[in-house]
Amino acid sequence: MVTKITKEIKKLIENNPVAFASKDKKGNIHCIAVAFVKVVSENQVLITDNYMKKTKENILENSQVALAVWNNKNWQKECIGYELKGIAKYYSKGKWYKRVKEIPENKKEPCKGAVLVTIQEIKKLA
């Protein structure tokens, strides 16, 4: 098991869509695809809330989340992927909110908030 976000994992996260799963207080899972995810430390990723009403609600009720990212849609031999589990915090102001608003890809997006995920576990997908 990997314990920090390596250069390889960072490249995957920042260059591919990421599946982002959250769950409400009853344990009902909700999964969306997000783009423009940025690695901000060896154990944190920053995600922009442009259109994530249910995900935001879930994070405010239950901070446990999971991400999945991979580099190949066809799952051929050279496919590499990872599952990252962690704790999410939602920000609608402050440092992290300002940071997502500065991401060039978000220029024409609503940027309603920022989600900072502190990664606790990384597992390579088989």
Residue 2 counted as domain residue: no
* Residue ranges in 16-94 assigned as alpha helix (H): 53-61
Residue 120 counted as domain residue: yes
What is the CATH number for 119? Answer: 2.30.110.10
Residue 59 counted as domain residue: yes
- pLDDT tens for 90-126 read 999 999 999 999 999 999 999 999 999 999 999 998 7
- Quick one: pLDDT band at residue 44, thresholds 50, 70, 90? very high
Rounded to whole angstroms, how far apart are CA atoms 28 and 22? 8
| Contact by Cβ (8 Å): 43, 49 | no
- pLDDT tens for 23-40 read 999 999 999 999 999 999
Residue 1 counted as domain residue: no
CA distances from 112 to 49, 51, 98, 108 (A): 5, 8, 11, 12
Determine the structural domain holding residue 76 and report its residue range: 7-124
pLDDT score recorded for residue 76:
65
Residue 1 has pLDDT above 90, yes or no: no
The tokens of 122 are what?
Answer: 């990384």
- pLDDT tens for 54-86 read 999 999 999 999 999 998 766 666 778 999 999
In 10 A of CB 122, how many CB atoms?
Answer: 19
